[in-house]
Structure 1
Amino acid sequence: MYGETAPHPSLGGRVSWLWEQVAEKDGTQLVVPDAAVDLIWGPDGLHVAGPDTGPMPTAMRAGDTYLGIRFHPGAAGLTFGVSLEALRDQRVPIAQLDGPLRELQDSLERGPGIAELTTEGAARRDAVRQAMLNAVVRRWRETPEPDTAAPAIATALRAGRSVSGVAWDLGFSERQLHRRSLASFGYSPKILQRIVRFQRALRLARAGRPLAEVAVESGYADQAHLANDVRRLSGVTMSTLIN
Structure 2
Amino acid sequence: MYEERRSRLDGAVVWTRTIDTRAGAAHPVLPDGCMDLLWTDGRLLVAGPDTHAHTPEGTPVLRYAGVRFAPGTAPAFLGVPAHELRDRRVELADLWGGAEARRLAERIDEAADPVAELEAVALRRAAAAGPPDPLLGEVVRRLEAGGTVAGAADAIGLGARQLLRRSLDAFGYGPKTLARVLRLQRALTLVREGVPYAEAALAAGCADQAHLAREMRDLAGITLGAYSASANSETAQPSGSRTSA
- Over the matched positions of the two proteins, sequence identity in percent amounts to 39
Cα distance in 2 for partners of 1:112, 1:181 equals: 35
My pick for the range that moved more, 69-78 or 59-68, is: 59-68
Contact map agreement 2:42 2:109 (CA 8 A) in 1:
no
Contact map agreement 1:104 1:131 (CA 8 A) in 2:
no
- Check 1:88–1:111 CA distance in 2 against 1; reply closer, same or farther (3 A cut): closer
Give TM-score scaled by structure 1 length. 0.84
* Structure 1 position 136, deviation (Å): 2.4
> What's 2:187 paired with?
201
Cα distance in 1 for partners of 2:99, 2:199 equals: 47
Contact map agreement 2:14 2:119 (CA 8 A) in 1:
no
- 5+ residue gaps, structure 2, are 230-245
Cα distance in 1 for partners of 2:91, 2:144 equals: 31
> What's 2:46 paired with?
48
Are 2:15 and 1:19 aligned? yes
Are 2:2 and 1:2 aligned? yes
Give TM-score scaled by structure 2 length. 0.83
Deviations, residues 36-76 of structure 1 (Å, cap 9, x unaligned) = 11111114721000110001111254432111111111221
| Cα root mean square deviation, aligned | 2.3
* Structure 1 position 163, deviation (Å): 1.7
Contact map agreement 1:94 1:102 (CA 8 A) in 2:
no
Show the 5 A alignment for 1:142-221: 142-221=128-207
- 5+ residue gaps, structure 1, are 114-122
Cα distance in 2 for partners of 1:159, 1:137 equals: 27
> What's 1:119 paired with?
none
> What's 1:63 paired with?
61
* Structure 1 position 102, deviation (Å): 4.8
Cα distance in 1 for partners of 2:72, 2:137 equals: 7
Contact map agreement 2:201 2:209 (CA 8 A) in 1:
yes
Are 2:127 and 1:130 aligned? no
> What's 1:73 paired with?
71
Cα distance in 2 for partners of 1:211, 1:165 equals: 27
> What's 1:224 paired with?
210
Contact map agreement 2:42 2:106 (CA 8 A) in 1:
no
SS in 2 for 1:39: strand
Between the two structures, name the one with larger relative contact order (CA 8 Å, sep ≥ 6).
Answer: 2
Deviations, residues 99-130 of structure 1 (Å, cap 9, x unaligned) = 4x8524334258859xxxxxxxxx73x1x223
Contact map agreement 1:29 1:59 (CA 8 A) in 2:
no
SS in 2 for 1:38: strand
My pick for the range that moved more, 128-137 or 145-154, is: 128-137
SS in 1 for 2:27: strand
Aligned length: 227
- Bigger Cα Rg: 1
Q: What letter matches 2:131 in structure 1?
A: E
